[in-house]
Amino acid sequence: MSKVTLAIVAAAGAATGAVATAALWSTKKETPVPVVTTTTTTTTGLQKAPPPPPLPVGRHPHAPPHKALVDPNGLFQYGFPGPVNDLRPAASLTSSFDRERRNPHWVAEHITPESLSENNADRKHSVFVEDVAIPEMFRAKLKDYFRSGYDRGHQVPAADAKWSQEAMDDTFALSNMCPQVGDGFNRDYWAHFEDFCRRLTKHYPSVRIVTGPLYLPKKEADGKWRVSYEVIGSPPNVAVPTHFYKVIFAEDGQQGGKVALGAFVLPNAKIPNNKPLTDFEVPLSIVERASGLEFATKLEPARRRSLCQEVNCSLIVKEYAQRQKSFGNNQ
């Protein structure tokens, strides 16, 4: 099995359960079914015309079609059950929301050297808010995170939206949040990973990033695989993801140009800062199978490049852990 397929299994202590991805989604070639060809031999001479096709049993050939006895679509006169994705286009991000788990399905952002060079916003002026565009019974609430033991983890980080205060404020809606482990992840390894994404703008003029949660199965003592995750809130509302993914599109800036793709899956757990980022690199198909999403159906193979073959996919561990922890005091 290749390194990339096993990547989710990396960091055994931190990435417990990620082995499920490799085990469940390692593909096998199917044995082709042999094709049997039947040859019919005919003889020349006087032949009988083939019999006419049989008429439907119990129906006159000129009878009108049956009237439908049921109308399942009649349900829609009362409303459409869903699922509803609550698409949110904002200044700094676009997201799709999962009403069942009260987390986003995905959040997309776009960063450029120009957008990151602006500094027109201050995080201290932003506050966490509930997304009132989502119906109250389905939205994540501030009280759900209170004393939960988890950070309100940005999917699009505030540091990527410094170009305006409005853009930064958009990142503080709870529809851009998931419960994340604080020390060792949100305030450490994950923050360094976000910094890696920003540094890509030194190599590419345009970088698009999709981030979201995963809920992966884990093999238990009885040998069976089960999906299990904590739910926080009172009553329990918000699911705690087992993992998070990022899919990166690093564009060369040319119309119809090359796009370097990178896909990563990290456990929602403490990860040592010296753990190589490439240990969490996976094929894009792994993220798609795990999430039920598709990310690059319109990107032709001829335009695709591998991100970690073009740049050094590694973290720079800066001495800003204490600053991250101070932010965490407000989590």
Asked whether residue 235 is assigned to any structural domain, the reply reads yes
Amino acid at 175: S
Eight-state DSSP code of residue 190: H
Domain-located, residue 303? yes
Residue 60 lies in a domain: no
Residue 125 domain boundaries: 3-25+84-328
DSSP strand pairing (304-306 vs 259-267): parallel
Contact 229, 215 (CB under 8 A): yes
What pLDDT does residue 127 have?
98
Helix segments in 30-149, DSSP class H: 113-117, 142-145
- SS3 call for 96: strand
pLDDT at res. 201: 98
Residue numbers annotated as active site: 154
Q: Is residue 286 part of a domain?
A: yes
* pLDDT of 66: 76
| Mean pLDDT, the chain cut into blocks of 10 residues (331 residues total) | 44 44 44 44 49 61 79 96 96 98 98 98 97 97 97 98 98 98 98 98 98 97 97 96 98 97 98 98 98 98 98 87 48 45
Tell me the pTM: 0.79
User: Is 273 annotated as a binding-site member?
Assistant: no
Given this model, what pLDDT does residue 145 score?
98
Predicted pLDDT of residue 318: 80
Distance CA 23, CA 37 (A): 38
- Total structural domains within the chain: 1
Q: Please answer whether residues 95 and 174 qualify as being in contact, where contact means their C-beta atoms are separated by less than 8 angstroms.
A: no
SS3 state of residue 245:
strand
Contacts of 124-130 with CB under 8 Å at 24 or more apart are: 125/165, 125/168, 125/169, 126/158, 126/165, 126/168, 126/169, 126/171, 126/172, 127/172, 128/152, 128/172, 128/174, 128/177, 128/330, 129/172, 129/173, 129/174, 130/173, 130/174
pLDDT reported for residue 44: 43
Task: Identify the H or E element spanning 152.
Answer: strand 151-154
User: How many Å apart are CA 228 and CA 185, to the nearest integer?
Assistant: 20
| pLDDT at site 52 | 64
Judge whether 196 and 264 are in contact, CB under 8 Å.
no
- Residue 72 falls inside a structural domain: no
Q: What is the CATH number of the domain that holds 104?
A: 3.40.570.10
Question: Does residue 48 sit within a domain?
Answer: no
221 falls within a domain: yes
148 in a structural domain: yes
What's the length of the chain?
331
